[in-house]
């Protein structure tokens, strides 16, 4: 047996006129643990705190130096995607810390532009109509994009559903238009982040039954109806049926939540045999990019097993490879090596 790293330096080219990626930034918090009272930490071998373990609302870096290390890795990874629009999951909801909701998102974009040497990236502002801060999680979803390639059409939209998303993040939608094109080329992306598979209740419909789906399968299945509802709303208000669903669904492609989306007419665009995480010698995908089957999918571009077959203008997913555990949480950094410090496990 020969062990080797098969990770490529960047995703393979996918073709099309616009490339779309989805990226879990694994608890990117610009509010560091040392700014808050009560935080406990994961520490490195020297006993230096590196990421928040609990005791406070922060979930990311312990101190500024840890944030800078995490941020540098995220910026390098996003740059390597070579995508024009990226949906993000697990970025800090800065409103939970008394700041503008987009503060952390803005700082990430600033870091991307600093690395690029010019104003290459922009972020989609939070909508005015959104859940109250106390009803939201400390992590959220977001969009960043390249204004030289795309412009936004209208503002972003969050589906407000406190009943079904009291333990997850409501879907967020934004319509984009390629620069210099007409409304006929508009497309909408809906980013999702369903309930994780961990922290199982002892009984009830969300208990881990041992069938491989993990905990909270019932809630994720209900949550899967939400992007379908939101896309119907967007179709009416934005006048486009070119819609992609992206994000961290915390479900494998043939599990119940994904079947809800398949039955609603959405198909997974990932080439066969490609996966988005590796953990304990196993691979799989809890992150997905989906488009409607048939005509809508053809207009957005078509993926083959290895290389895309594109009908221009096309929008193609450029999913990053990243280390993900079997049950949808970041790898716990209980004893990280110096210089390789990561975020704490997410808890929702």
290, 267 in Cβ contact below 8 A?
Answer: yes
The domain 18-37+47-317 is classified under which CATH number: 3.40.120.10, 2.60.40.1150, 3.60.21.10, 3.60.10.10?
3.60.10.10
What is the reported pLDDT for 297? 55
Nearest C-alpha neighbor of 97 from the set 59, 127, 126: 59
The pTM score is 0.85
Q: Is the peptide bond between 313 and the residue preceding it cis, with omega within 30 degrees of 0?
A: yes
The torsion of the CA quartet 256, 140, 125, 233, rounded to 10 degrees, works out to 20
Three-class SS state of 106: helix
Q: What residues have CB less than 8 Å from 327, skipping those under 6 apart?
A: 196, 197, 198, 214
pLDDT digits (tens, 9 = 90+) for 255-305: 999 999 999 999 999 877 778 777 677 788 999 999 987 545 555 543 222
Quick one: pLDDT at residue 184? 93
pLDDT at 325 over 90: no
Over residues 212-267, the pLDDT tens digits come to 899 999 999 999 999 999 999 888 999 898 999 999 999 999 999 999 999 999 99
pLDDT at 281: 74
What residue segments make up the domains of the chain, in order of their start?
18-37+47-317
pLDDT at 15: 81
pLDDT at 310: 26
pLDDT band for position 91 (cuts 50, 70, 90):
very high
pLDDT digits (tens, 9 = 90+) for 46-70: 999 999 999 999 999 999 999 999 9
pLDDT at 326 over 50: no
pLDDT above 70: residue 94: yes
What is the C-alpha separation between 287 and 282, in angstroms, rounded?
15
User: pLDDT exceeding 90 applies to what percent of the chain?
Assistant: 68
| Choice between 239 and 118, residue whose per-residue pLDDT is larger | 118
Distance of alpha carbon 295 from alpha carbon 313, whole angstroms? 14
């Amino acid at each position: 047996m020969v062990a080797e790293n098969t990770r490529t330096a960047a995703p393979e080219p996918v073709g099309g006129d616009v490339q779309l990626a989805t990226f879990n930034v694994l608890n990117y918090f610009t509010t560091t643990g040392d700014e808050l009272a009560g935080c406990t930490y994961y520490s490195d071998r020297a006993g230096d705190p590196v990421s928040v373990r609990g005791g406070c609302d922060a979930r990311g870096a312990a101190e500024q130096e840890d944030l800078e290390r995490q941020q540098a890795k995220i910026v390098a990874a996003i740059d390597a995607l070579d995508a024009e629009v990226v949906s993000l999951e697990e970025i800090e909801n800065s409103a939970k810390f008394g700041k503008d909701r987009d503060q952390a998102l803005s700082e990430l974009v600033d870091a991307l532009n600093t690395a690029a040497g010019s104003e290459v990236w922009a972020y989609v502002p939070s909508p005015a109509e959104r859940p109250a801060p106390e009803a939201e999680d400390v992590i959220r979803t977001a969009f960043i994009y390249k204004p030289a390639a795309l412009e936004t059409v209208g503002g972003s939209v969050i589906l407000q559903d406190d009943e079904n998303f009291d333990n997850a993040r409501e879907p967020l939608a934004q319509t984009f238009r390629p620069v210099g094109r007409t409304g006929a080329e508009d497309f909408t992306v809906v980013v999702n982040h369903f309930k994780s598979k961990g922290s199982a209740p002892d009984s009830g419909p969300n208990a881990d039954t041992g069938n491989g789906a993990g905990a909270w399968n019932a809630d994720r299945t209900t949550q899967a109806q939400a992007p379908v509802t939101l896309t119907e709303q967007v179709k009416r208000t934005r006048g486009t049926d070119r819609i992609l669903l992206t994000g961290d669904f915390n479900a494998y492609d043939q599990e119940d939540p994904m079947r809800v989306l398949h039955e609603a007419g959405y198909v997974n665009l990932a080439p066969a045999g490609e996966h988005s995480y590796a953990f304990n010698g196993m691979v799989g995908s809890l992150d997905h990019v989906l488009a409607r089957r048939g005509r809508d999918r053809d207009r957005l571009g078509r993926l083959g097993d290895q290389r895309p077959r594109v009908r221009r203008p096309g929008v193609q997913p450029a999913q990053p490879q990243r280390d993900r555990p079997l049950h949808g949480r970041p790898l716990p950094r209980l004893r990280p090596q110096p210089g390789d410090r990561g975020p704490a496990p997410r808890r929702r």
